[in-house]
Amino acid sequence: MITTAKSGKRTGDIAVTNLERAGLPEECVIRVARIATVSDAQIHRKLGGVTPKDRTAVTSLLKQYAP
């Protein structure tokens, strides 16, 4: 889940390092603890993407939860 984390950051949050590339208007974090799966039918449009650095950070954290 990607969120603005206005209520506060949590352990395991990963900051989105390139907001423009991600298509986000303000600072956000990737909250791995709230990950969910969605079907292609639920995706209406692509806003952007995360950098390889952010993707690597998420992958490393996920490996801690599900080795």
Report, as an integer, the average pLDDT of 41-59: 94
Asked if residue 67 has pLDDT above 80, the reply is no
Residue 15 token pair: 């900051």
Distance from first CA to last CA of the chain, Å, rounded? 20
Domain spans in the chain, listed from the N-terminal domain onward: 2-65
The number of helices, as runs of H, and strands, as runs of E, in the chain is 2, 3
Asked if residue 8 has pLDDT above 80, the reply is yes
Cβ atoms within 10 Å, residue 62: 12
Q: What is the pLDDT of residue 20?
A: 95
Q: Identify whether the C-beta of residue 22 lies closer than 8 Å to the C-beta of residue 47.
A: yes
pLDDT in tens, 9-40: 899 999 999 999 999 999 999 998 888 899 99
Q: What is the pLDDT of residue 14?
A: 95
Report, as an integer, the average pLDDT of 41-50: 92
